[in-house]
Structure 1
Amino acid sequence: MKFGRTIVAAGVLLSLGACASVSPAHDAETAAWWRTTAALSGDDMEGRDTGSAGYDRAAAYVAERFRGAGLAPAGDGDTYFQRLNLHDVEVINEGTSFTVTHANGAVRALRFLHEISVTPTQDMAPHIAGPLVFRGYCAAADMTDVRGAVVVCFGARRPGQTTSASRLEAATAAGAIAVVNVDDPGFTVEPARWPLAYARSVAVTGLSELPRSIPVMRMSAQAFGEMTSLDGADGAAVLARGARGEPMQSFDLHATLDARVATRTRSYTSDNVLAVLPGTDPALAHEPVLLIAHLDGYGYGTPVDGDDLYNGALDDAAYVATLITLADERHGRGFRRPLIFAAVTGEEKGLLGSRWLAAHPTQGAPPPIAVLNLDQLRPLYPLTILTTLGLDDSTLGQTVRSIAEPMGIQVRRDLEPERGLLRRTDHWPFMQRGVPSVSFLFGVDPGTEAHARYIDWYQRRYHAPQDDLATPIDFDAQAKFHRFYFALVEAVANADAPPQWLPDSPNRPTQ
């Protein structure tokens, strides 16, 4: 049992050492935030997987906390809940296998979710079999002699290189039967990690569809190296050239892939939790500010070091807890504009809850004039740099600077755009609909202790069971972020004019 459940059961913050507790001398607000984080990421919430009983318990908990803080319901009808109808397809372990057979007779089984995975699609074929061919970056010009083959590609993720979508398009047009993207070992800004929790695709009825394509697989760099070595090739050297952005030669692997894929489908519901703090200025009643964080996590998945529960303490229970902390601090005292508090579902499955809310605003949560998103924050080291997504897109960027810089916080634009973070979290569906938005990360400088902690997080805790209450937290940094964020909320909610798009923003709406 993890100590998250112990904390909740005891109803107090236990002394668990400097890494997992707030000292009695710490401020009461930060201690309350950590208790709420513990409640949301405790074992009894079962990792808050979309559609699970644990998620429903967490949603009920958040709704009750919003109610207790004096927020009015803003969901469907006169409730705190906005319901989504979901359906999914998942690849299951039993009956699933991936086997590579070489012309020299060598056979290599690839471990599902540990070395290879596949994106589930609608009506996925249960059997995939064909020769393996490597085609470098898998641009359209590379796709020679691939008809009927499984095309192996260098899984580039950097600007100017091929994308997963372009590789799939090129392979499909050339007649390939499947694509395998191999991890780029040089992409260290967000290191590839295995095992994966599971292989699942989720869609929202009336909003999105499950993918339809030839099978798309992902393979670890280590597995690729071992697989090619059986043919006498140096797979590690091949990947190193790709990591350096050098030209890559195509070759056939003289091997075949035989994949057996077992799937199951499900239909279920999951709720966004929506509440509103009414504004005080009737003239601004139709200009709400949306504060959003995702409530869902991964739930149960592939065990790591014997632990199969992905608690999701910092991703993103801690920042739903920030919304609750702000609601408690205001306790019914509004700003000029209304504040919509949204704890949304399905972020980890493709921003499903925020996409639904953006497309289907409720009477209590109408379209906002600004979105202040909370995700991807990691209070692992002092807050001296605040990377701000959307910084140069709207006048929100200047508001962020005007609050952060007097606090000794350097505000930066995203220096790692190749990660695509702007489009990977819940403000993005609103930006697509023309709403100025910002989101934040605790920034770092390369070669510093903070950078080492940042990389360690991605290697050992990101989307893993180890994202739990044992994570070393810098509580002073979190308290400082709360001061910044709460001041930002007040500034935007009380401003005379709503935020405006900047004319040179590449994300500015065209209509």
Structure 2
Amino acid sequence: MYPRRNRSLHALAGVAAFAFLFSSGCSRGPSAPEAGLNSITADRLLAQTRTLAADEFEGRAPGGAGEQRTIQYLEAQLREFGLEPGNPDGTYLQKVPLVGITADPAMTLTITQRGRTERLRFGDDFVAWTKRVTDSVSAAGEIVFVGYGVTAPEFNWDDFKGADLRGKVLLFLVNDPPVENEPIFGGQAMTYYGRWTYKFEKAAQLGAAAALIIHETGPAGYPWEVVRGSWSGEQFDLITPDRNMGRAAVEGWITRAQAERLLRRAGKDLEALKRVAATREFRPVPLGLRAEITVRNTLRTVDSHNVIARITGSDPELRSQYVVYTAHWDHLGVAAEGSGDRIFNGAKDNAAGTAAVLEIARAFRQLRVPPRRSLLFLFVTAEEQGLLGSRYYAEHPLYPLPQTAAVINLDAPNVLGPTRDLVVIGMGNSTLDDVAQQIASRLGRTLKPDPEPEKGFFYRSDHFSFARFGVPAFYADEGIEFLGKPEGWGMEMRQKYTAEDYHKPSDEVKDYLDLRGLAEDSRFFFLMGYTVANDPRLPEWKPGTEFKAIREQSLRPASR
């Protein structure tokens, strides 16, 4: 038996006693957590992960046979564990209406200047699509470089300076302006202003014909192969009343190499433009180049599904409040083209996270008397398409968001063994971090902030959909101090995964996976939920966080 696990379970017993104190106000208090903690094992987590990442699940893409196998498996497991259906209609499913849009990869991006024409190749030079629900769409206009494309009044920052950009093709830099010697934006940490989603939103607001983001591996947080793999096949979006006609006609990415070539044709230098774009003095730069593109689509409507289960709380006064565990069940499906392995199994991302939430749900069912607040276990669809399943739930909640005490999210968790530390994404945002710190201290573990803040992970997973509506959210990533490994090994493996496996068919269950660390982390997350569900106090956002005012407004009594 692994020695550290004995020590960990001994320490967990102490934490359990600490957490159990919160139940003292109940006449019929919740059970102590030991039975749940002891039920979470690496072997069970590996078996769940292996099943969900199997080729038979066809990469767990929404809207196909892979989805049906996945949601049927999740339902069967939740029933077997004895959890209640989470939808008030008596089922385990919440329907999520999606539209699937597959762009014809035969498209070309044509660039003209004074009679000279150049055609860029889809996949190699650029990737583009439309989210408009239409058979085809065309965009044509002058290319305008807009820097980082940020309007941030709180920082006195405006990259657009009132320019009329209607009908233009906007060329963006990814991430936030790297401002020196001034504590604005997030410093090294990416803010929402740096996300590709924000850039496309701004293009739509400005009436642009198209928006292209210059890809750079460092600022984007992933290589070009991820862009090509993630945006080349069928893409999904929520069905909206205007059929997404309010969005820019065409959205996409262009490689840095091609962007540099275009800028040279316009007599500009990318690095020089980037330096100016990192200042408040930046103004949009017309390039004297014209871009044209036509995107032809194959459309289908899809009823995808979130899967949800519930454990009703034991306290009559608190059971109408909810602690939510989330994990996205979906991945990227099967590549339409190519040779060799075309199945995106998504073992780490996010079969392992889904397995962990399943096992945490099972662990709570081992308690004879459940915690005071109710627990929800929410497995969401279409995270890989832009957090669509969690966004749909947040916009159409089955349980009121003001009564949702907290969200604990698991996405691409630790599959490489036990760690001394746990990395908290967005550390310091809420009092949930204080709960986590108390648990970590008693376990002899440490909490660390994100070592890659520039990648904007806080805005890239499903807890963000809840945070936008004010719900306190906790998202922890794998630690980087692995027991028995040399210093730096954890960061090396992070970078290796991003470069070689992230959003690629190679993200599979491999021989070297060690889920003892995931078992320890899952027990940690179990105790997080157990503690919050029994604490008479609700979690809160800390002063200065962008979500605090939203939460406070949602908790105010409605005016008469």
Shorter-normalised TM-score: what interval? 0.7 to 0.9
Partner of 2:55: 43
Report whether the alignment pairs 1:116 with 2:116: no
Offset of residue 358 of structure 1 = 3.1
Offset of residue 423 of structure 1 = 3.1
Report whether the alignment pairs 1:274 with 2:294: no
Offset of residue 251 of structure 1 = 6.4
Is the 8 Å Cα contact of residues 184 and 243 (structure 1) preserved in structure 2?
A: no
For residues 276 and 217 of structure 2, the distance between their equivalents in structure 1, rounded to whole angstroms, comes to: 9
What do residues 206-259 of structure 1 show as CA deviations (whole Å, max 9, x unaligned)?
Answer: 799636233333111122234556x49685645775798798897665654332
1:496–1:241 distance in 2 versus 1, CA, 3 Å: closer
For residues 89 and 124 of structure 2, the distance between their equivalents in structure 1, rounded to whole angstroms, comes to: 41
1:203–1:189 distance in 2 versus 1, CA, 3 Å: closer
For normalisation by structure 2, the TM-score amounts to 0.74
Partner of 2:27: none
Offset of residue 296 of structure 1 = 1.4
Partner of 1:506: 546
Identity %: 27
Corresponding residue to 1:187 among 216, 219, 234? 219
For residues 378 and 141 of structure 1, the distance between their equivalents in structure 2, rounded to whole angstroms, comes to: 45
1:314–1:367 distance in 2 versus 1, CA, 3 Å: farther
Report whether the alignment pairs 1:403 with 2:403: no
Offset of residue 137 of structure 1 = 4.4
1:478–1:156 distance in 2 versus 1, CA, 3 Å: closer
Higher mean Cα deviation, 417-426 or 237-246? 237-246
Corresponding residue to 1:483 among 523, 526, 542? 523
After superposition, the CA RMSD in angstroms is 3.8
What do residues 333-387 of structure 1 show as CA deviations (whole Å, max 9, x unaligned)?
Answer: 2333332111111222232222333343437999432211111434346523322
Is the 8 Å Cα contact of residues 189 and 455 (structure 1) preserved in structure 2?
A: no
Higher mean Cα deviation, 257-266 or 202-211? 202-211
Gaps (5+ residues) in structure 2? 1-38, 150-158, 179-183, 186-192, 482-486, 554-560
Q: Greater relative contact order: 1 or 2 (C-alpha under 8 angstroms, separation 6 or more)? A: 2
1:303–1:242 distance in 2 versus 1, CA, 3 Å: farther
For residues 236 and 422 of structure 1, the distance between their equivalents in structure 2, rounded to whole angstroms, comes to: 28
Report whether the alignment pairs 1:222 with 2:257: yes
Partner of 2:295: 261
1:124–1:415 distance in 2 versus 1, CA, 3 Å: farther
Partner of 2:467: 431
Partner of 2:154: none
Report whether the alignment pairs 1:212 with 2:223: no
For 1:287, the aligned partner's letter is Q
1:376–1:228 distance in 2 versus 1, CA, 3 Å: same
Corresponding residue to 1:459 among 496, 499, 503? 499
For 2:257, the aligned partner's letter is Q
Corresponding residue to 1:197 among 226, 230, 235? 230
Offset of residue 463 of structure 1 = 2.1
Offset of residue 318 of structure 1 = 0.8
For 1:109, the aligned partner's letter is L
Offset of residue 399 of structure 1 = 0.9
Offset of residue 267 of structure 1 = 1.2
Corresponding residue to 2:533 among 474, 482, 493? 493
Partner of 1:140: 160
| SS in structure 2 of the partner of residue 301 of structure 1 | coil
What do residues 22-47 of structure 1 show as CA deviations (whole Å, max 9, x unaligned)?
Answer: xxxxx982121111111111111111
1:99–1:365 distance in 2 versus 1, CA, 3 Å: closer
Corresponding residue to 2:372 among 315, 326, 336? 336
For residues 452 and 121 of structure 1, the distance between their equivalents in structure 2, rounded to whole angstroms, comes to: 40
Report whether the alignment pairs 1:91 with 2:103: yes
Is the 8 Å Cα contact of residues 385 and 412 (structure 1) preserved in structure 2?
A: yes
Is the 8 Å Cα contact of residues 430 and 437 (structure 1) preserved in structure 2?
A: yes
For residues 246 and 287 of structure 1, the distance between their equivalents in structure 2, rounded to whole angstroms, comes to: 45
Offset of residue 398 of structure 1 = 1.1
Is the 8 Å Cα contact of residues 40 and 522 (structure 2) preserved in structure 1?
A: no
| SS in structure 2 of the partner of residue 126 of structure 1 | strand
For residues 536 and 274 of structure 2, the distance between their equivalents in structure 1, rounded to whole angstroms, comes to: 54
1:156–1:273 distance in 2 versus 1, CA, 3 Å: closer
Is the 8 Å Cα contact of residues 308 and 376 (structure 2) preserved in structure 1?
A: yes
For residues 177 and 272 of structure 2, the distance between their equivalents in structure 1, rounded to whole angstroms, comes to: 17
1:238–1:45 distance in 2 versus 1, CA, 3 Å: farther
Report whether the alignment pairs 1:350 with 2:360: no
Partner of 1:78: 90
For 2:214, the aligned partner's letter is V
The alignment of Structure 1 onto Structure 2 pairs a total of residues equal to 481
Partner of 1:3: none
Is the 8 Å Cα contact of residues 50 and 509 (structure 2) preserved in structure 1?
A: yes
Offset of residue 122 of structure 1 = 4.1
For residues 166 and 539 of structure 2, the distance between their equivalents in structure 1, rounded to whole angstroms, comes to: 52
Report whether the alignment pairs 1:157 with 2:190: no
Is the 8 Å Cα contact of residues 174 and 219 (structure 2) preserved in structure 1?
A: no
Higher mean Cα deviation, 58-67 or 247-256? 247-256
For 2:329, the aligned partner's letter is L
Higher helix share goes to which structure? 2
For residues 426 and 166 of structure 1, the distance between their equivalents in structure 2, rounded to whole angstroms, comes to: 16
Offset of residue 402 of structure 1 = 0.8
Is the 8 Å Cα contact of residues 461 and 467 (structure 1) preserved in structure 2?
A: yes
For residues 451 and 231 of structure 2, the distance between their equivalents in structure 1, rounded to whole angstroms, comes to: 30
Is the 8 Å Cα contact of residues 195 and 304 (structure 1) preserved in structure 2?
A: no
Corresponding residue to 2:209 among 167, 171, 177? 177
Offset of residue 76 of structure 1 = 5.0
Corresponding residue to 1:448 among 468, 488, 499? 488
Higher mean Cα deviation, 128-137 or 317-326? 128-137
For 1:263, the aligned partner's letter is N
